[in-house]
Amino acid sequence: MKLMGLISTPPGMRTDAIETTATVVEQVRMARDTYRLRLRCPDVAKRIVPGQFFMVRPSTGSDPLLGRPFALYDVFEENGALAGIDFGYLVVGKLTSEMSRWQPGDMVRIWGPLGNGFPTPPPGRLIMVGGGIGQTPFLAVSREASGARRYGRPARTISANAERLTLLYGVRSREYLAGLDDFRRDGLTIRLSTDDGSEGHHGYVTELLDEEIASDPPAAVYCCGPEPMMHAVSERCERACVPCWLSLESPMACGFGACFSCVVKVKTGDGWDYRRSCVEGPVFRADELVL
Q: What is the pLDDT of residues 11-21, one digit of tens each?
A: 555 678 899 99
Kindly tell me if the per-residue pLDDT of 60 is higher than 90: no
Max mean pLDDT among 74-78, 253-257, 264-268 falls in 74-78
Q: What is the pLDDT of residues 220-243, one digit of tens each?
A: 999 999 999 999 999 999 999 999
Question: How far is C-alpha 139 from the chain's CA centre?
Answer: 9
Percent of the chain at pLDDT exceeding 70: 92
> What value does the mean pLDDT of the chain take?
90
Contacts of 232 (CB under 8 A, 6+ apart): 204, 206
Q: Are 72 and 16 in contact (CB under 8 A)?
A: no
Q: Are 74 and 92 in contact (CB under 8 A)?
A: no
CATH number for the 125-288 domain, one of 3.30.70.60, 3.40.50.300, 3.40.50.11540, 3.40.50.80?
3.40.50.80
pLDDT score for 1: 36
Q: Are 54 and 70 in contact (CB under 8 A)?
A: yes
**Rounded to whole angstroms, how far apart are CA atoms 108 and 270?**
45
CATH number for the 2-114 domain, one of 2.40.30.10, 3.30.365.10, 3.20.20.60, 2.40.37.10?
2.40.30.10
63: pLDDT confidence band, cut at 50, 70 and 90? low
Segments making up each domain of the chain, as ranges? 2-114, 125-288
Q: What is the pLDDT of residues 85-116, one digit of tens each?
A: 999 999 998 889 999 999 999 999 999 999 99
**Rounded to whole angstroms, how far apart are CA atoms 258 and 253?**
9
